[in-house]
């Protein structure tokens, strides 16, 4: 005969003389002193890591990715914000033209700056909120672009790292590249010198940048905010290869005008980061266009001939990887 085994049901009232009883569970085994102390120490470390302020040490998670769109549907931002969020304009969103995300009105790429850094840090979650053409306004207020809510919606109390590469469009980048490079004309110098340091325009953009970063901190008080500089299009000093400029149909005098504008822009970005005591990533200046190993591309200067590996007048994939290395090394204390 096969045994029926122990009776696992609760006893009935008739079986207990009319009064139902509650089955007592066996006591849980107690931990000895050493394992118990080790578990307590581990829990304390986890708690400290969870509440530590502005810690850039994120990573080894499932690497969830959110975009503004997946090419078919609008995707809401992660509740509470992603662990790492990339904010900014086309210099943050640019990558290889062949990896542009489908139907993405912000022209983000799967190998842009945010993606490069996310691959290195492996955050638990990552949101790419950078958008081509974005001004500082677009970081905090609704944009005119289709399906593009304020970039700040991507961050929150769970965010631990924010990279910001923005400010150029607010300081007149579009006018400078249009009149100096895309369709060069006599107004290049005028546009390049409109918002120089000391001008009302420069001071306004500086104040707006500071206010924007302060708002990011209020939305994500535990996040480390990293302010990223712009890779220069051309060497900042010296003579540039005439053949390179001729191939792009850029007058040498326009490069000089751009240099004046760029130094004003990069000085503003650095000044804002220093004013708020934030990490600033200075871009390398020895890999500009018309150098042997450029981090930016001139192809597509007419905005119609973008190459497969880069957008014209924007960082190449190599450039984005170099900036990703700089940011990672800075966060990990290697610089």
pLDDT band at 18 (very low <50, low <70, confident <90, very high): low
Count Cβ atoms within 10 A of the Cβ of residue 47 and give its class: 0-12 exposed, 13-18 middle, 19 or more buried: exposed
- pTM for this prediction: 0.80
Task: Read off the pLDDT of each residue in 249-263 and give the average, rounded to a whole number.
Answer: 96
b/e burial code for range 137-168 (CB count within 10 A of at least 16 → b): ebbbeebeeeebbebbbbbbebbbbbbbbbbb
Backbone angles phi, psi at 315, to 5 degrees: -65, 145
Distance CA 234, CA 58 (A): 34
Q: How far is CA 45 from the centre of its chain?
A: 28
Share of the chain above pLDDT 70, in %: 71
Q: With a cut of 80, say whether residue 266 has pLDDT above it.
A: yes
Percent of the chain with pLDDT over 90: 60
| pLDDT value of position 68 | 55
Nearest-angstrom CA–CA distance, 163 and 327:
9
Per-residue model confidence (pLDDT) at position 37: 54
Domains and CATH numbers, the chain: 54-331 (3.40.50.1110)
- Give the distance between the most distant pair of CA atoms in the chain: 105
Residue 52: the pLDDT is 37
Tell me the mean pLDDT in the region 106-116. 90
Q: Which residue has the higher pLDDT, 1 or 276?
A: 276
Q: How far is CA 188 from the centre of its chain?
A: 31
Residue 94, classed as helix, strand or coil, is coil
Indicate the average pLDDT of the chain: 81
Q: Is the pLDDT of residue 153 over 50?
A: yes
State the pLDDT at residue 7: 38
CA distance 141 to 127: 18
**Residue 49 has what pLDDT?**
41
Side by side, the strands of the sheet bearing 161-165 are 64-66, 125-128, 84-88, 161-165, 224-228, 279-281
pLDDT tens digits for 310-320?
Answer: 578 999 999 99
Residue 65: band (very low, low, confident or very high) from pLDDT cuts 50, 70, 90? confident
Which helix (H) or strand (E) segment holds residue 70: the answer is none
Average pLDDT over residues 39-57: 40
């Amino acid at each position: 005969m096969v045994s029926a085994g122990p009776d696992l049901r609760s006893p009935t009232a008739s079986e207990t003389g009319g009064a139902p009883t509650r089955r007592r569970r066996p006591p849980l085994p107690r931990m000895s002193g050493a394992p118990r102390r080790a578990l307590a120490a581990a829990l304390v470390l986890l708690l400290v890591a969870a509440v530590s302020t502005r810690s850039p040490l994120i990573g080894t998670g499932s690497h969830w990715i959110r975009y503004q769109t997946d090419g078919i549907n609008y995707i809401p931002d992660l509740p509470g914000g992603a662990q790492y969020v990339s904010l900014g304009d086309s210099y943050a969103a640019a990558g290889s033209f062949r990896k542009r995300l489908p139907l993405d009105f912000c022209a983000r790429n799967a190998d842009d700056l945010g993606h490069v850094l996310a691959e290195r840090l492996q955050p638990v979650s990552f949101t790419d909120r950078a958008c081509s053409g974005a001004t500082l306004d677009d970081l905090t207020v609704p944009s005119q672009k289709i399906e593009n809510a304020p970039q700040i919606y991507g961050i929150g109390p769970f965010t631990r790292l924010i990279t910001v590469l923005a400010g150029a469009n607010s300081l007149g980048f579009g006018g400078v590249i249009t009149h100096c490079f895309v369709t060069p004309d006599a107004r290049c110098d005028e546009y390049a010198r409109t918002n120089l340091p000391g001008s009302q325009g420069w001071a306004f953009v500086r104040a707006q940048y500071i206010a924007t970063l302060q708002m990011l901190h209020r939305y994500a008080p535990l996040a480390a905010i990293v302010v990223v500089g712009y890779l220069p299009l051309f060497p900042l000093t010296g003579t540039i290869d005439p053949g390179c400029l001729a191939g792009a149909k850029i007058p040498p005098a326009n490069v000089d005008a751009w240099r004046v504008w760029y130094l004003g822009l990069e000085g503003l970005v650095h000044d804002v980061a220093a004013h708020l005591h934030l990490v600033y990533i200075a871009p390398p200046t020895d890999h500009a266009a018309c150098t042997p190993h450029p981090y930016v591309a001139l192809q597509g200067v007419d905005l119609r001939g973008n190459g497969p590996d880069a957008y014209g007048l924007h960082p190449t994939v190599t450039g984005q990887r170099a900036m990703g290395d700089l940011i990672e090394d800075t966060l990990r204390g290697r610089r």
